Amino acid sequence: MRLVIATCSVTYTGRLTAHLAEATRLLMVKADGAVLIHSDGGSYKPLNWMSPPATMRVLEPDAEQSAAGITEVWRVTAEKADDTLTVLISEIHHDSTHELGYDPGLVKDGVEADLQRLLAEQIDRLGAGHTLIRREHPTPIGPVDILASGPEGTVAVELKRRGDIDGVEQLTRYLELLNRDPLIAPVTGVLAAQQIKPQARTLAEDRGIRCVVLDYEDMKGEDAATPRLF
């Protein structure tokens, strides 16, 4: 990766036209061909960029650009579109190249798939007397995360990291379909999440859907302490 801190202006043309007036910025040139323009603010998001595949050429400024103090011109063109990123550099304050090596990628912990697996293994968190029927129970509009059997019949569980109104609406649609099946009806619903918004809880309770808050860290601890054959 090449890191350049330079006083520059930037113009993007293509699907739209955008211009950054001259200022000191961080220019990142990645091995995959991406070029990103960052300021000293705005968190992770670049001010402008060119996604790969792209080709960058470093050009000499023309007479007019030289007269304006431009010392270097970067022309970055997309290979699969007509988009062009032009960087006019007046002064380079820092220029370094770094070999970062192999990146194994981001591993996410606590996603909905993790919650589903742990709740299936610890189904009694729904309450005493619950047993797992299956995960990813199919319906014509998508799979129900968990289908379980409880003391009062079949239970459909919708899992979310953060339970909101959309999750309640999704579970409501599943329940309408599942309750048409005489083999498993009546089916009640549970919205299970690490956090449940007050509006979602109110709507869920109004529709007879139970809310269960899951402590992911606690679930991981129980899971790790449970003896396994495999």
Domain that holds residue 16: 2-97
| pLDDT score of 29 more than 50 | yes
For residues 80 and 149, state if they share a domain: no
| Rounded-to-5 percentages of helix, strand, coil across the chain | 25, 45, 35
pLDDT tier, 227 (very low <50, low <70, confident <90, very high otherwise): very low
What's the pLDDT score for residue 2? 96
In DSSP notation, 173-204 reads: HHHHHHTT-TTT-SEEEEEEEEEE-HHHHHHH
Q: How many domains does the chain have?
A: 2
Q: Would you say residue 105 lies in a domain?
A: no
- 151-155: long-range contacts at Cβ-Cβ below 8 A with a sequence spacing of 24 or more? 151/127, 152/188, 153/185, 153/186, 153/187, 153/188, 154/178, 154/184, 154/185, 154/186, 154/187, 154/188, 155/126, 155/130, 155/187, 155/188, 155/189, 155/190
Q: Would you say residue 189 lies in a domain?
A: yes
For residues 74 and 147, state if they share a domain: no
End of a domain among 39, 64, 97? Answer: 97
Is the overall model pTM greater than 0.95, yes or no? no
Q: d(Cα 112, Cα 120) in Å, to the nearest integer?
A: 12
For residues 20 and 119, state if they share a domain: no
What's the pLDDT score for residue 109? 56
- 92-117 average pLDDT score: 83
* CATH number for position 22: 2.70.180.20
Residue 113 tokens read as 């798939």
pLDDT tier, 170 (very low <50, low <70, confident <90, very high otherwise): very high
* CATH number for position 138: 3.40.1350.10
Q: Would you say residue 157 lies in a domain?
A: yes
Inter-CA distances, 137 with 6, 82, 142, 163, Å: 56, 46, 8, 20
pLDDT tier, 15 (very low <50, low <70, confident <90, very high otherwise): confident
For residues 88 and 121, state if they share a domain: no
For residues 80 and 159, state if they share a domain: no
What's the pLDDT score for residue 143? 95
End of a domain among 97, 120, 142? Answer: 97
What's the pLDDT score for residue 225? 46
Q: Summarize pLDDT for 184-222 with one digit per residue, the tens.
A: 999 999 999 999 999 999 999 999 999 999 999 999 885
| pLDDT score of 121 more than 90 | yes
Q: Would you say residue 102 lies in a domain?
A: no
Q: d(Cα 1, Cα 99) in Å, to the nearest integer?
A: 6
For residues 207 and 117, state if they share a domain: yes
For residues 76 and 7, state if they share a domain: yes
